[in-house]
Amino acid sequence: MSQTTVNPGQLQPPAPESGTRAAPASAADRAIKRRRVLDILDAAGRDSLLLSTHTALTWYLDGSRVHISLAGDPVAAMLVDRDGDHLVTFNNEAGRIAAEELPSGVALHTAPWYGSLHEAAAALGAPGSAPLAEADVAAELRAARQQLLPAESDRYARLGAELAAILTDVLSTAKPRTTEFDIASALAGRVVAAGAEPLVLLCNGSARSQFRHPLATHSPLGRRAMAVVCARRDGLVANITRWVRFDAGSPAERDAEARIAAVEADIFDATVPGTTLDRVFTEIKSAYVRHGFGAEQWEQHHQGGPAGYAGRDPRVTAAVTDTVVQDQPFTWNPSGPGVKIEDTVQLTGSGVQVLTADPRWPAATVNGLARPLTLQL
């Protein structure tokens, strides 16, 4: 196994005309993240930690891309020890990672493309001392990444605004004869052009509105449609749902849309620093009853949860007892028959800030917060 020593001068942002990418990492944010991981090692009485998942790696590297296939495992593993940070990647990935993804201060090592990244990373630690496995401190790592730091908060806000604008642009051109695949492909093209990865693309027309996770088909939209995008850029995942229709909608339909927004408002009210997520989950179940959806509606679809470096980090259930903190991002997605509402938000000192917002999209004020309506064309 060989080590590549990277000169910090090689990691400066490239000239604009080069068209290449520079690692997005903030040195200040990364220093805080390293301190948080060292605190985990201190609490566990260990000297090193092996990071191996997309969520942990992109968080700790502060936005580096460590994937090739969106469906595959990371092409890197990270050993964090008391002496420094050691990233191991395959020999055929090292050039790109060194040039475009490696934060300053991280030592890059290579393993053969047919080798084991985890074994190579573990071998960098002190002899006779196995590193702590990521799975052994999953809850502690989740807590470490809950509170977004300044630079990553800025990156997340930019992604959210761009994603919301993409939904507005694409859905504003839709027609009843437009197919679900037409919408999904247009969204995918715009997301990729924005430098992001489309992790989830869903669309249903009026003939398929009963499905909560509608993978697109060749079916036309008809009189009403939903589009969902979950997109990742610099490791952060933003999630958004929008609806469009080509008539005024029925009274029952408009009533259900207002009631699901009221459910979401109750969830926002319950999501405050210091509370625990199992308590928020209890409030979610009560909100469905209060707003006329029935006591069992929450069982028909997951309700969302904390967001950030995973689509949900984690999905909230009665068993999740994490404590909510300020500057933590969330994506709640309450839904009912034929209705759903979803945006990525961040808790700030002044309350809930909606990140996936476009001022061009029609909205109504619900409990003091602008929430998306169905776009009528």
Each residue of 126-175: pLDDT tens digit? 888 899 999 999 999 999 999 999 999 999 999 999 999 999 999 999 99
Interval 334-345: pLDDT, tens: 999 999 999 999
Characterize the bridge pairing of strands 304-306 and 329-332: antiparallel
Q: Is the pLDDT of residue 275 over 50?
A: yes
Model pLDDT for residues 65-107, shown as the tens digit of each residue? 999 999 999 999 999 999 999 999 999 999 999 999 999 999 9
Across 178-193, average pLDDT: 98
pLDDT band at 18; cut points 50, 70, 90: low
Tell me the mean pLDDT in the region 30-58. Answer: 98
Confidence band of 19 (pLDDT split at 50, 70, 90): low
Domains of the chain: residue spans and CATH: 2-144 (3.40.350.10), 150-376 (3.90.230.10)
Q: Is the pLDDT assigned to residue 10 strictly greater than 60?
A: no
The model's confidence at residue 6, banded by pLDDT at 50, 70 and 90, is very low
pTM of the model: 0.94
- pLDDT level of residue 29 (50, 70, 90 thresholds): very high
Residue with tokens 């460590």: 66
Mean per-residue pLDDT for 28-49? 97
350-355, Cβ contacts within 8 angstroms, sequence gap of 24 or more:
352/268, 352/271, 353/157, 354/160, 355/156, 355/157, 355/159, 355/160, 355/161, 355/238, 355/329
Question: What is the SS3 assignment for 323?
Answer: strand
Least confident of 123-127, 302-306, 342-346: 123-127
Q: How far is CA 235 from CA 24, 79, 205, 227, in A?
A: 10, 19, 31, 22
186: left (phi over 0), alpha (psi -120 to 50) or beta: alpha
Q: What pLDDT is attached to residue 20?
A: 79
Model pLDDT, residue 128: 84
User: Which residue, chain included where needed, has tokens 């990270």?
Assistant: 78
**3 pLDDT higher than 50:** no
Q: What length does the chain have? A: 377
pLDDT tens digits for range 131-141: 999 999 999 99
